[in-house]
Structure 1
C-alpha cells in the first residue's frame, strides 16, 4: 500500500503540539507501521516522518490571529487567508500576517448573510465557494466578495432537501460538497449543474474534504477514519487513525508557509 507525502504530513497535524513529543512520535510511527507493514518503503516513510516531526518542533509557530468564535474552516491563496467564523456567521479575509482586510456576512438569509456557515474554498482567489449550512445552500462570490450565484435544493433534481457542510473545488471548477440530509457527496460542474452523487463508506461523515493528488480525502475524526476516493466516487483506500480525542487541526499551505487553525487561533510557520 503506497502512502503519499501529503498524507504523511497530515498524520502529524491532528495532535496538539504541546503534548509530549516522544508519545506523539511513537504513536505516529506505530500507525505508519500498522498501515503499510515493515517493508523497506515503509521504513523510508517513517524516516521522513521523523524528519517532519523534528521540523515541526524546531520552530514554534507564530500566532497571527486569535479570538475567533467557532472557526470551522481556513483557506489560503497566494496573498490572503479566508476564515469561516461560524459563531459570528461571517467570513474573514486576512493577509498572511493576520491583518484583517475585510469581512463578509452577518446573520440572515440574504445574498450577503449566513446562518452557521461551515466551509470555504477560495480556489485561486477569483471565485469563492461557501457552504451556508443553516440556509441550506452554497454561496458563490468573486474576489471582491460580490455575490455571483447560489446552489440550493430547488436547483437539484430529485433532491428535496439540501444541507451542505464540507466542500472542495477541483482545477476544472467542479464543486464537491457533502450533503448531510442524503449523507452523500454531490458533484457539480462549473455552472452549478449536478453531475453525480455518491456516498462515503460505512456511514462516514466528513469533518474535512480535501483534494490530494487529484483524489478526494475525507476525514471523519469522530470515527477515526480517513477515506481516499476518486473524483468519480470510487473508494481507493481506507485508513484508521486514532485521533485520541484530539481536536482536528485545520491547515492551509501556500508559498512555503503553513497556517494552522485550532479553536479560535490561527498560527503560521515556515514549511
Structure 2
C-alpha cells in the first residue's frame, strides 16, 4: 500500500525581467545546472537566472525552427530539439551549431516493415536520449513512441494500443523509459526491450503535461500540481493559484507546462517564468 503525503508547493523569488519568456513550452537541465527552455521560436540556456545562449530562431536557415516543442540537452554537449511542424528532431552542438535534422516518419504500428521510406512526416512532441545512442520520440499523430537508432532509423514502436496521448518522455538511469500519458492521466514505464511496465496514476482534474526522473523518484506534473513516486511513497503537490513571491509581490499563477529537477529540487515551467517547487517543511500526514 502506498503512503500518501500532501505537499504544498511554494515558489522562490521571481526571475529577472530579462529571463521572462514569450510562450515557453519545455524545460530541461544539464548536469552543470544549466536550464534549457524551449520558448516560442528558440531554445534558451540559462545560468543563475540569466540567458547565456540562444539556439535557433525563426527564419529560413537550416537551424531555424517552425514550432519547437521540446528539448533534451543530454550532458550539455549534444542538444536535441523536437520541432513538431517540421516533423523532425534537430541535433545541435553545445555551441549551437546544427549537426543534422532527423526526420520523424509517420509510422503505422501495424506495418511490420517499419523502416521502409515514408513520404509522410510525423508530429514529434517530445524527445529523450536513451542508452546506446537510442533516441525516443513521442509522436502525436499516431499517439505512440518511436525508438530511433544512432542513424535515425526506426527500431521499434512503443505504446501502440497502450498509450493514449503521449506528451513528455524521461529516461531513468537504468534505461527505463517513462511516458507522460495525458490521455490516461498517468506515467507509463517501458523497459529496454519496449515492454510495457508499471503505470502510475498522477491523479487530479488537470491535464498532465510532463514527467521527470531524479533522485527523489519519478514525478508527473499536471497544469496545477503533480505527484512524485518514490518506492511506496507518493508525494502530491499543488499550485497556489493566487500566491505571493518571497519578496512580497503578488501574482496570479500560470498553469505548469513542464518540469525538471536540479538535485532534490523540482523546477516547473509556465508560459512566462520558471518556478522552484520548494515544499520545505510544509508536509502534512
**Alignment TM-score, normalising by the size of structure 1:** 0.71
More strand by share: 2
Tell me what 2:276 maps to. 268
**CA deviations over 1:123-168 (Å, ceiling 9, x no partner):** 0000000001111111001100111111115796343322211111
Which of 139, 143, 165 is the equivalent residue of 1:205? 165
Whose relative contact order is higher, 1 or 2, with alpha carbons under 8 Å and at least 6 apart? 2
CA contact (8 A) 2:125 2:140 kept: yes
Structure 2: where are the runs of 5+ without partners? 107-114, 207-221, 224-255, 280-285
**CA deviations over 1:52-97 (Å, ceiling 9, x no partner):** x27x55xx42333553222111111114111001x2x1111111x2
SS in structure 2 of the partner of residue 207 of structure 1 = strand
Partners of 1:202 and 1:153 in 2: how far apart? 21
CA contact (8 A) 2:55 2:96 kept: yes
Partners of 1:106 and 1:178 in 2: how far apart? 23
Structure 1: where are the runs of 5+ without partners? 1-38
Q: Does 1:71 align with 2:14?
A: no
Q: How many residues were matched structurally?
A: 219
Tell me what 1:93 maps to. 45
State the 4+ residue runs in structure 1 displaced beyond 4 angstroms.
153-156
Cα RMSD after superposing both structures: 2.7
Q: Does 1:83 align with 2:44?
A: no
Tell me what 1:232 maps to. 193
**CA deviations over 1:205-227 (Å, ceiling 9, x no partner):** 11211123531211133542321
Partners of 1:257 and 1:153 in 2: how far apart? 33
Partners of 1:222 and 1:204 in 2: how far apart? 5
CA contact (8 A) 1:81 1:94 kept: yes
Q: Does 1:157 align with 2:116?
A: yes
Which of 141, 166, 170 is the equivalent residue of 1:181? 141
Partners of 1:197 and 1:177 in 2: how far apart? 10
Tell me what 1:172 maps to. 132
Q: Could you say if the C-alpha distance between residues 257 and 224 of structure 1 is closer, same or farther in structure 2, counting changes exceeding 3 Å?
A: closer
TM-aligned CA deviation for residue 98 of structure 1: 1.3
